Amino acid sequence: MANVFEAVSERDTLAARRAARLAVSEFNAAYCAVLDDGDLKDWPRFFTEDAFYNITSRENFDDDRPVGLVYCEGRGMISDRALAISETSMFGPRYLRHYITNERVTGIEEDGTVLAGCNYQLIETLSELPEGRLHQAGRMIDRFRPQEDGSLLLASRIAVYDTLLVPNALVLPV
């Protein structure tokens, strides 16, 4: 049997990172499709029960300030947020679209947790702004936990925005 050290070195190879990146890429496309469709009830199912979810500014992140426009500890809080957004019916006259690029896997931990990141843009279109505009641009810092069926769930997603239009009471998920 392989000992832990061998298990690690076996796991975190270039080939393992490449396979993980393809899986992360599939995850992100499915995740964004749910947000883009505007139906947030399926959004929490992309997270583990104990997941951490945070949207914070680059300035706060760089200064290690544990705050954020959105700050959720556990899938329960993520579900609450999904519900709150749905009930304020922001999605009627507003279209959103997420663009994920520059996906990277920066490490794979002993237990299989995948450390990943990407850049993102969120474009919003309003009826009074039919030409659309950049609503948010930044990067994601993610931890994915592999599940028994081989799928991935987010154990942690920190969205660090460079830029944010915030004319809204409720911040849109990314």
Closest separation in Å from C-beta 116 to its own copies: 10
CA dihedral for 24, 26, 30, 36, sign (positive or negative): positive
Name the site residues for its own copies (rule: CB under 8 A).
14, 17-18, 21-22, 26, 28-30, 32-33, 36, 58, 95-104, 117-119, 121, 123, 125, 130-134, 137-139, 150, 162-165
In this structure, what token pair is assigned to residue 120? 């993102």
Least distance CB 98 / its own copies (angstroms): 7
Could you tell me the smallest distance in angstroms from the CB atom of residue 125 to its own copies? 4
Minimum CB separation from its own copies for residue 1, in Å?
27
Q: How far apart are CA 8 and CA 68, in angstroms?
A: 34
| Helix or strand holding residue 16 (H, E) | helix 14-37
Residue among 8 and 165 whose Cβ is closer to its own copies: 165
Measured CA to CA, the distance from residue 107 to residue 97 in angstroms comes to: 28
Nearer to its own copies, 48 or 125 (CB): 125
* Residue 136, SS3 per DSSP: strand
